[in-house]
Amino acid sequence: MAVGEGTLPTLHPVAGFKLGTTEAGIKTPGRADLVVMEICEGGTVAGVFTRNAFCAAPVQIAKQHLSAVNSRYFIVNTGNANAGTGEQGLKDSVSTCNAMAQLMSCESNEILPFSTGVIGEPLPIGKITAALPKAVAVLSNDGWSAAAKGIMTTDTRPKAASHQFEFLGQAVTVTGMAKGAGMIKPNMATMLAYVATNAAVDTEILNKMVADAVNASFNRITIDGDTSTNDACMLVATGQLEIPVIDSVSHELFLPLQACIDKVCIELAQGLVRDGEGASKFVSVNVTGGLDEEECLQVAYTVAESPLVKTALFASDPNWGRLLMAIGRAGIDNLDVNLVNVKIGDVLIAENGSRAESYTEEKGETAMAGEEISIGIDLSRGNASVTVWTSDLSHEYVRINAEYRT
C-alpha cells in the first residue's frame, strides 16, 4: 500500500558525487542491500543524526569521523541496524570503515558508516566487507536510482528528488534520496537521507543549510510517532561549479541554493509519508492561529499521531470528535476551546469549539474519501502556523510490524 504513483523523477547527476550499489545478502538473498557513495576531493559534508539515546553503533562512529576530517565515502547497509549491539557493534562499524579504507587507500575516519534494518542483531561484517569491491566497481554519477532502491527496507518504492536552477550561466544541481516507511518521527532528520549539490559551500554554512532544510521537511513528518535509533540526513557539497564558495548567508547564491535544498528535502519527506507502512492516505495537518510555532507543533503532532484519528482516516470516517479530543489533550496552556475552528479540506466541521451549523455528515464523508486529506485547525490565539504530514493507521501497518522479524 502507498499513496500516489511514486514514479522516480529525472535524477540529475551531481558532479563529484558517485554511487555504487550491490547485493551482499545481509538479510534477503538476491536483493540490493549495500550502497557506497564517493565524494570528490575538496567536497564538504554536513549532517544531523538521531537524538534517540539508544543511537546505533554506525551513528556513533559516523559522528566521530565527521567531526575529525573531511569525509570521502559513505557506506550504507540495509537488513541490519547494528543497534543495541554494544561494544561489538562499534567494532563492526569500525571494521567496515577499515575495510573500505584499505580498498580505497584512504584513512578509516574519512569513511562514514550507516546501517538500517532489524535492531539487536550482530552485523554480518563478513558479508559486507566481501561485497564492498563489487559496490566500488560500479561507482557512477548516474547511480542515484539504483542506490535509492538499495537503501530500502520496508519501503515499497524508492524515494528520490532532483532540481536544477541557473546561476551566473551555470546549472546548480541538488539531488537527493531517502528511505523510511516506519519508526518515523525523525526529531532531527529521517531514517536515512542523502542530498548532494555541485555548489561549493563552507562547512559551517553547510551545517546551517542541512539543519534548516531538515526542520522544514523531515522534522515535520510522522508515521507512527517513533524515532529510529539510526536516523541520519547528510548533505554534500562537491564544489564543482566555477562559482566562489558560499561562506556566509549574505552570499548571493545562499538563498536560492537553500530554497532548492529545502524543496528536495520536502519532496523526500512527503515521499516517506506517502509510502508509510500500510499507508492509504496522505494527510496534511495545518495548524494556524498559534501563539508560537512550538504550540502549533504540539497540536499538529498530537492530532497526527493519535491512533483514534489515524484509524478514522483509514476508514474515511469524518469522526470529528476525535480531532477535538486530540486538540484538547495537546497540552496547550489556557486554550480557549470556544475559539477553535476545524476543517477537513474545505468543509468546516467545527466552529467556535462545536459542530458547525453548515456541517453535514455527507460533506464530511466526501472530504474524507480521497487519498489526500487536509485537516485545518485554527486556534485563534496568535499568528504562528505549521504544517505536519502524516499517514493513516491501517490493518496493513499492524501486519507489517507484527511480521517484521519473521
Alpha helix (H) residue ranges in 105-238: 125-137, 144-150, 203-216
Question: Cell numbers 507512527 label which residue?
Answer: 224
Reported residue count of the chain is 406
Residues 6+ apart with CB under 8 A from 196: 14, 17, 174, 175, 176, 235, 236, 237, 238
Determine the Cα–Cα distance for residues 182 and 283; give it in Å rounded to an integer: 16
* Contact by Cβ (8 Å): 209, 258: yes
Residue with cell 510522522: 222
Q: How far is CA 86 from CA 50, 57, 82, 272, 302, in A?
A: 17, 8, 9, 29, 34
- Burial class of residue 326 in the structure, from the number of CB atoms within 10 Å of its CB (0-12 exposed, 13-18 middle, 19+ buried): buried
* DSSP 8-state assignment for residue 220: G
Residue 62 grid cell: 559516523
Residue 87 exposed, middle or buried by CB count within 10 Å (0-12, 13-18, 19+): exposed
Element of type H or E holding 300: helix 293-305
Per the rule left: phi > 0, alpha: psi between -120 and 50, beta: everything else, 270 is alpha
Cβ–Cβ < 8 Å for 231, 179: no
Single-letter residue type at 372: E
| Nearest-angstrom CA–CA distance, 259 and 161 | 14
311 in catalytic set: no
Q: Which of the residues 175, 190, 222, 227 is marked catalytic?
A: 190
Beta-bridge partners for 285: 375, 388
CA–CA separation, 75 and 71 (whole Å): 11
Distance CA 348, CA 359 (A): 6
Please name which of 384, 227, 232 lies closest in space to residue 295, comparing C-alpha atoms.
384
Q: Which three cell numbers stand for residue 174?
A: 541538488
Residues labelled as active-site residues: 190
